[in-house]
Amino acid sequence: MLSFSPPMDKRLQRLRALGATLSAPRKRMASARQNLRATLLTIFVFVPLMTLIAILTVVALVLLSYLLMFFIMIAMVPTVILYALLFAV
């Protein structure tokens, strides 16, 4: 069979003679590890944290709506009764 490229050993020797090094895969591995760490950090820290913040926001909105209804009952009802008594005549 015809070979269109030299064997791997000869290619690596020629590349080394040109000044190439094999440190690039290590950099890629370090980059892949950093990406994995960032992904795991996102999955296990930021997603639950944002979920907790969303749940607490919903709870706060519900409690604030009940508080608003309470203040309407306390402040507005007596005001309406007083208004009705003063201007009913």
The domain locations on the chain are 24-87
Average pLDDT, stretch 8-35? 77
Q: How many CB atoms lie within 10 A of CB 12?
A: 13
Phi-psi region of 19 (alpha: psi -120 to 50; beta: other; left: phi over 0): left
Kindly tell me if the per-residue pLDDT of 71 is higher than 60. Answer: yes
pLDDT tens-digit map of 45-63: 999 999 999 999 999 999 9
Average pLDDT, stretch 10-38? 78
Question: Which pLDDT does position 1 carry in this prediction?
Answer: 60
